[in-house]
Amino acid sequence: MAFDALAPIDEHEADVAAAPEDVWDAVLDMLRGSFGGRGTHTFARLLGCQPLDAAGWDQPGVGTTVTGFRVVDAEAPGLVVVEGNHRFSRYGIAFRIEPTGAGARLRIESRGDFPGLHGRLYRLAVIGSRGHVLAVHRMLRDIARGAERRTPAPSGGTMTG
């Protein structure tokens, strides 16, 4: 599966008052922390997520996995792309980090395919309910906070999208 071959879902961004390298580290921390818990693993097993187990986070990069995602592209400190699949969807998320005068801009682009009736129902439940948007905004907020803790700055980040 190739990220660019998946159908676009949405894109959101936040300005982060931190260096791109700190945003990169915060993205990796979020992936490791958010998708490594016991509840996440149980839910992922029920959905039939692949990959199911985490591997390689001592040296994060292409091939590294967390529950439900495999890193397929990584170019520090500007890009992390993860992909995965389960019974109802094939999906990917790209984290793009660009330097700005005040720190960095983080963009999260989501893509996915939802084949068959069950896939369409799953898309309606996750995307149609706005649950996905809320989850992405939470990711942006958590990553920005983590990065800004590493690089103290005079003002906080702002979200758009």
Cα 9 to Cα 109: distance, rounded to the nearest angstrom: 8
Share of the chain above pLDDT 70, in %: 90
CB 102 within 8 A of CB 87: no
- Tokens 């592209």, residue? 73
The pLDDT value given to residue 55: 79
Q: Using the structure block, give the residue that is written with the tokens 């005068």.
A: 101
The torsion angles phi and psi of 160, rounded to 5 degrees, stand at -140, 165
Q: Residue 151's pLDDT is what?
A: 73
Contact indicator for 85, 68 with CB cutoff of 8 Å: no
Q: Yes or no: say if 69 and 83 are a contact pair by the CB < 8 Å rule.
A: yes
pTM of the model: 0.89
Q: Reduced to 3 states, what is the DSSP secondary structure of residue 33?
A: helix
2-30 average pLDDT score: 95
Domains observed in the chain: 3-153 (3.30.530.20)
Give the tens place of pLDDT for each residue, 83-120.
Answer: 999 999 999 999 999 999 999 999 999 999 999 999 99
